[in-house]
Structure formats: structure tokens, C-alpha cells
Homo-oligomer: A and B are copies of this chain.
Amino acid sequence: MARLVMKFGGTSVGSVDRMKNVAAKVKREVEAGNQVAVVVSAMSGETNRLVDLCKQVDPVHDQREYDTVVAAGEQVTTGLVAMALQSAGVKARSWQGWQVPIRTNDMHGRARIAEIDGAAMLRDMAAGVVPVVAGFQGVGPGDRIATLGRGGSDTSAVALAAALQADRCDIYTDVDGVYTADPRIVKKARKLDKITYEEMLELASLGAKVLQTRSVEMAMNHRVRTQVLSSFADVAGTLVVDEEEIVEKQIVSGVTYSADEAKVTLIGVADRPGIAAGIFGPLSDAGINVDMIVQNISEDGKKTDMTFTMGRSDLDRAVGILEKQEKNLGWVKLVPDRNVVKVSVVGVGMRSHAGVAHIMFKALAEKNINIQAITTSEIKVSVLISADYTELAVRALHTAFGLDAE
């Protein structure tokens, strides 16, 4: 007997028939002797509909009221899925965030879970009653409804699994696992049986949309074995686990890319002390995260070119802020560029294996792809390239690191 949390996303509960499919999957686990808690998202499209209503009423609305409105989406699903389970002969009841309670802080719209009291649910589970818990929501100070922000249902599921000391958290979604690369781009991409928390965290941060970053952090911090698998296909997914569980470590486990990048180059900036602070201070004050930075020192040592990247949605704001500093910084030319992509290779094996960057640069050079900037961590190497070469670069790296399926 195991204790499981099963989480179903918006497409998995997108219609009455799909909810019945969810009930069948849960029933199978219950009949196998497992204690199960279910976490559900809003039906697909519902959250967008509710967010649109809020925007129509007032584009700059009270986040507490926004939370009240959008949390209704998950509430509906909990009741319907509980009914579907009962209809399939499985005892079940719905739980809203305030009923559990799932206590959060007061950052409405992107609240963080502070505490989950799983006692009542554990009693139900021991009595064979499946709790169907609203994902994405909790209850903040003053008993106000709070939501965790987009994708928060994954975080709810992992946090609940931690609180219930579950043996595993299964995240059912519309893909059947984590791949070595996006299968739409790389035909030879392979599904991974296992991946470490650290790798999954890098992949999530670097643009892979399988799991929400915060849910992976949560899984890593509480060592929750988390499986990503398909609601629609009946096959094992990818297990996100502790590094120790993975016997044969690949140097690189996956190749990913993020198109959500933009680049600014300041040509001919005076090369004097404090210039970097003059550029990055105002950006930081405006809440703009700068990711990669490259500085080319000019030959005479008096002028320099600065290149740096940020999220694409921040570009216009960043340019506006920099233009206000033009006198102060005194550049010759400011060149914004949206046509860039960040391609990354990720793997815990890198820690014990030199030469990953070398293999990466060589593979890209062979395809005549110019590297505009580089950033690394202990388990990843990322490069910025022209967006024109996205697919070519991902495929070349997938081959170069021996990831192609046979």
C-alpha cells in the first residue's frame, strides 16, 4: 500500500467525459490498495474566462477580489470530480483551500503556501474517502481566498504530498513525461525514466513547460518523489527524484531552449568605473532581471560594448529606462534585439565531467552558429544565439551529447 497524491491539470478535467476518465484512473489506484488524495485545476479555458471578466471590470483590480473570482474555477472542478468518483463507486469529497486549510501568506495573486493541515484529510483517506482538493488556492490572513499564481496547482499537489507524507506525487498532464528535448523539434528525442530535482529545476527555469518551477523547488526541498505522466496515454511517465536514485548518470540529460529572451547592446560606452552600476542599477530598481552579460573591452581601453539579456516582455521598458540614462552613460548606439534564443544543456553528470562547454561550442561551430553570450551553472551551460537557428542548434546538441534515440 502506498499513499499517493494524483494531480490533474485543466485539459485532464476539461470536460465531463474527461472527469470520468480521471475517476477511472483514481479508482484503479484505490482498488490497488493505495490511499489517494486528488488535486485538480480549473476546467481548461475557465481560468482565462474568469481573468478576462476581472480585466473587463477594472484592469487594475484588487488582487484579493481577483483571487475570489478565479478560485471559483477550481471549486467547480472539485465538486464535479468528487461526484464522478462517487458515481464510479469510490467514496470522495471536495476540499477548498479554506476547508483544509491550506494557509498562505498575503501575497494575493501569487501567494506562497505557509502551512497545510492534512489531519482531517488523512482521517478520510484512512477510511477510504478520497479527498478532491482544489489546486491553485489557499486561504490567506483574515480568511481571504488566495491563489498561488499561474501553474500553482502543481505546487499545491507537491505541497500536499509533503504535508501528507505521500510516497509519490503523480502530476497528470497532456504530455507523457520529460523528454531529452522538445519532441516537436527533435524527432529522436527520448522520454527520460528518471531525472533529478536539480535537472528538472533547471529545465523548468530554462523554458521547458512540463512542471512549474516553484513546484519543482517544493519537491526538491521536501524530497517529494514526483512523477510527470499523461492523463490520456496509459504509460509510465518520468520520475523526478533524488540524485542518489539515479545509478547511471548522463553527462547531459536534456537540451532545452527559451524563446522568451531579448538582448540589448550598448555600443561605445565609456569604460570607466561605475559604468556597470549606472546601467544595471536602474534596471534592477525597475524589477528587470538581467540574465547574461558580455563586455567587450575596446583596444584603446577607453570605450567598451556592453551586451546583456532580459525577459522579452521587459525589453521595451528596459530600453525606455536606458534612454533616460543616455547622457550619464554616453553610448554611441543602443541596439535592441528580440531575435535571440537561449539554448541550454542540462545534466548532473557535468559536475564530474569537464569539456561539456567544449563539445557544445564545437557542435554549434560546425553548423556555423554564432554564440552571442554564455552563462553556466554547475549543471547547465546556456548560450544565446540568433533565433533563426533554434531548431538546428537543439538538434545538433542533442546528437552531439549522444541523446538521439536509436
A residues at B contact (CB < 8 Å): 16, 19-20, 50, 53-54, 56-58, 61-62, 64-69, 71-73, 75-76, 78-80, 82-84, 86-87, 93-94, 96, 98-99, 143-145
Looking at the assembled complex, report how far the CB atom of A130 sits from the nearest CB atom of chain B, in whole angstroms. 12
Distance of A143 Cα from B94 Cα, bound (Å)? 12
Q: How far is the CA of A39 from the CA of B67 in the complex (A)?
A: 19
Complex: A62 Cα to B93 Cα, angstroms: 9
Smallest CB separation, A49 vs chain B (Å): 10
Report yes or no: A68 in contact with B57, Cβ–Cβ below 8 A: no
Residues of B contacting A98 with CB < 8 Å? 98
Cβ–Cβ contact B69 & A93, under 8 A = no
Bound CA–CA A82/B62 (angstroms):
9
Q: How far is the CB of A281 from chain B (nearest CB, A)?
A: 35
Given A16-B56, A19-B57, A58-B86, 14 more contacts at CB 8 Å? A16-B57, A54-B83, A57-B87, A58-B87, A61-B86, A62-B82, A62-B86, A65-B94, A66-B83, A68-B82, A68-B94, A69-B79, A72-B76, A98-B98
Question: What are the residues of chain B within 8 A of A84 when measuring CB–CB?
Answer: 57-58
> Which residue of chain B has its CB nearest to the CB of A72?
B72
A80 touches B57 (CB 8 A): yes
Q: Which of B61, B65, B75, B99 contacts A69 (CB 8 A)?
A: B75
